[in-house]
Amino acid sequence: LGFGAECASIGEVRHAERLGFMGAEVIYDSPAKTAAEIRYALERRLHLNIDNFQELEVVAEVRMEVPSSASTLGLRLNPLAGGG
């Protein structure tokens, strides 16, 4: 069995790392990531779930500063968002 850790805060990410989860074994899924937290995740090759277009823009900007990152990205899709 392959286990991973889904983390909703940078504190949970660091706790998962202390427990031995590394890289893509950690899914960082917070809807309120700061640029510094995104950089931390990219530098450690974590999987990032992107929650909105503003966050995607920040990830794209920070990703340029971390060219060696092999992080994977997930995009949360909500078909009801913005619906009338």
pTM: 0.87
Cα distance between residue 81 and residue 58, in whole Å: 20
Mean pLDDT value across residues 59-82: 88
Max CA pair span of the chain = 45
Pairing of strands 73-75, 5-7: unpaired
What pLDDT is stored for residue 83 in this prediction? Answer: 56
- Condensed to tens digits (0 to 9), the pLDDT of residues 16-68 reads 999 999 999 999 998 889 999 999 999 999 999 998 889 999 999 999 999 99
What pLDDT is stored for residue 81 in this prediction? Answer: 67
